[in-house]
A and B are shown apart, each in its own frame.
Chain A
């Protein structure tokens, strides 16, 4: 993996001389399309609040990992977020309360528990890099993991894309077409959890949901069908990812947040294009 990434050092730019920038660039290019495809489904199925909750709930996963004395809390993080994600689905099904109430409850619970666990002994600052994220610290080994996530989750998403799309449109209609809506929803939730938790440490808890939502939200303003929707979302995610990373290098700012700002710029641009088209 690292030899492949080193080929980038042939690029005639100042930043290409640094290993951390080459790693970051590869990570962005790998992950942006996955975020974009998933984002189109998250926005369509009105799950934006859900994915936000999964991001925030990871505080508790971190806390548990620290409590258990794990060197890398990623495993605890994935396990807890998965538990919470499926838990929200089950609670929604059992109590028949509205989804946003249940998400809100679970999110408040897990943020509070996470802060309690992590602030024990007054050392919360040690974990603040999880809030903001650190793209430049990504290692070739982690990029290997990202590639694996991309292949597994991305492949699964494409395979189930039609079914997830139908469920998001209307549950009864999907059921009458013979779909097992429950298990498809469980798969979708599990893949949201995987994508969010695997990318948390370099994007940051506070902004990971914008990475998911913004490209899709912008693409909606331009697209006339699902194919264009996904295509525009991938393009916007890639361009804002790469531009945001390079801007953050020259302006010495946090990369994740800079990428989000560029994506936000694209969103406003698409709003303007949409308004002009309607005139």
Chain B
């Protein structure tokens, strides 16, 4: 089982609640088109923040900027509560939208963990300690039984849980989930949300999720950010769900009319 991150040492889960990540006026321009402008967010430990917004609103781009994949202006600060400031190398866990990979590849779940966690060449076999931490990580998402399965043979929901387990090893400062449930059936979605929700409290994780699934995210999110190139509104699910711009963008205002 992964232990608590360094900066949470001595703090019981649920109690930290402090600002772990400051996103300060991030802007991304691609081919002279502004994709996102002046996005500022404060992410807290033990909180799940969900970004919603129409297609092309720049949701995935924001995650890519956080991952350092696209050039951006503005700054991202990571604030560990205890210990030295480690702003240069924060541990970011990432679960991609849908893993675009070769499904016929003989690549097992255990290979994925071994390749990610150790430099001992996978063709020479998996070290027992790596196998042990892989099993522990999989256990935290109720997926121990998947360790020796081929990655290409997993269902969408199983694959996302495996990727979630991988993103938790080692335990990150910030966990990014990019539309983690797109293309997963309803029971799979519910299990995924429940798991993420539990992990948030258990490890006092700061989680940023992009989602289209309005109905599914409202009950599990602590905060919702409505993004349309810039932050249009931000608040608790109850606050955002009654926002006029938000209801208009998702066609909910049609239901409001008599």
Contact = CB atoms under 8 A, between A and B. Distances in A.
- The judgment on whether A and B are partners is yes
Interface of A: 37, 40, 44, 46, 158-159, 161-163, 165-166, 169-170, 172-173, 175-178, 219-220, 223-231
A228 B111 CA distance: 11
A161 B123 contact: yes
Contacts of B163: 173
Interface in B73-94: 89, 92-94
A219, A228, A229, most chain B CB atoms within 10 A: A229
A226 B108 contact: yes
Contacts of A219: 106
A36 B193 CA distance: 42
A227 B125 contact: yes
A5 to B, nearest CB: 28
B249 to A, nearest CB: 27
B92 A158 contact: no
B97 to A, nearest CB: 9
B115 A224 contact: no
8 contacts: A161-B115, A161-B123, A162-B116, A172-B96, A173-B99, A176-B67, A220-B106, A225-B110
A226 B102 CA distance: 13
B25 to A, nearest CB: 23
A225 B121 contact: no
A228 B124 CA distance: 10
Nearest to A172: B96
Nearest to B107: A226
Give the 10 A-B CB pairs with smallest separation, nearest first. Answer: A176-B94, A230-B123, A223-B106, A225-B108, A162-B115, A229-B106, A226-B111, A161-B121, A226-B122, A158-B121
Nearest to A45: B102
Nearest to B66: A176
Given A176-B176, A226-B115, A228-B106, 15 more contacts: A44-B102, A44-B107, A161-B123, A162-B118, A162-B122, A163-B115, A163-B119, A165-B122, A166-B115, A166-B116, A169-B99, A220-B104, A224-B106, A225-B110, A227-B122
A173 B164 CA distance: 11
A165 B124 CA distance: 14
Contact of A172 (B67, B110, B119): B67
Contacts of A40: 123
Contacts of A226: 106-108, 111, 115, 122-123
Contacts of A158: 121, 123-124
A5 B46 CA distance: 67
